[in-house]
């Protein structure tokens, strides 16, 4: 499957917990390169709600321009598996497998439906350093 005419030649990979981070993005990030890329990804998703995404528990199109991607893996967290476990928990709550392909619109509706309280995200976002700047997380707290 390809996202023809969108600027991406293949189905975009998005790591599962980024389905949440994208909703909370307020313009903060790790570097200018990272931010430009993330803004482009978000713009693409908004403009192409019927294109397909592959939801994964590994580095994705956002990680690709992140200064914390080292040898294909995220080096930001002390325990290398903790970032992956955030993805796995989101996949579990959504009831989909690693590598699931779905439409942008459907995937965001699905994730909003199953993860929508602060209790739902305690395990997922617990260690994230962006919690106080993530509108998605902050909106769940109130």
For binding to ligand SF4 (CB under 6 A), which residues are involved? Answer: 17, 20-21, 24, 62-63, 66, 68-69, 74, 76, 83, 125, 128, 130-131, 134, 136-137
Give the bridge partners for 12, in sequence order. Answer: 53
Closer to ligand SF4 by Cβ: residue 4 or 67 = 67
Q: Which residue has the tokens 């997922």?
A: 124
Output phi, psi for 73, to 5 deg.
Answer: -125, 155
Helix axes 80-94, 118-125, angle to 10 degrees: 150
Task: Closer to ligand SF4 by CB, 52 or 73: give it.
Answer: 73
Question: Left if phi > 0, otherwise alpha if psi is -120 to 50, otherwise beta: which for 58?
Answer: beta
DSSP bridge partners of 15: 56
Closer by beta carbon to ligand SF4, 2 or else 36: 36
- Min dist. Cβ of residue 99 to ligand SF4 (A): 17
Nearer to ligand SF4, 20 or 104 (CB): 20
CA-to-CA separations, 24 to 20, 107, 123, in angstroms, rounded? 7, 16, 17
| DSSP-assigned letter for residue 76 | S
CB of 4 to ligand SF4, least distance (A): 27
Q: Give the shortest CB-38-to-ligand SF4 separation in angstroms.
A: 8
CB of 131 to ligand SF4, least distance (A): 4
């Amino acid at each position: 499957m390809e996202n023809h005419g969108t600027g991406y030649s293949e189905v975009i990979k998005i790591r599962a917990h980024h389905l949440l981070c994208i909703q909370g993005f307020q313009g903060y990030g790790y570097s200018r390169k990272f931010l430009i890329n993330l803004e482009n990804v978000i713009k693409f998703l908004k403009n192409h709600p019927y294109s397909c995404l592959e939801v994964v528990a590994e580095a994705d199109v956002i990680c690709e321009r992140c200064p914390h991607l080292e040898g294909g893996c995220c080096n930001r967290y002390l325990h290398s598996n903790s970032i992956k476990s955030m993805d796995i928990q989101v996949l579990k709550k959504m009831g989909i497998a690693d590598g699931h392909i779905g439409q942008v619109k459907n995937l965001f509706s699905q994730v909003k439906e199953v993860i929508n309280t602060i209790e739902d995200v305690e395990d997922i976002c617990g260690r994230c350093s962006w919690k106080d700047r993530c509108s998605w997380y902050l909106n769940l707290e109130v």
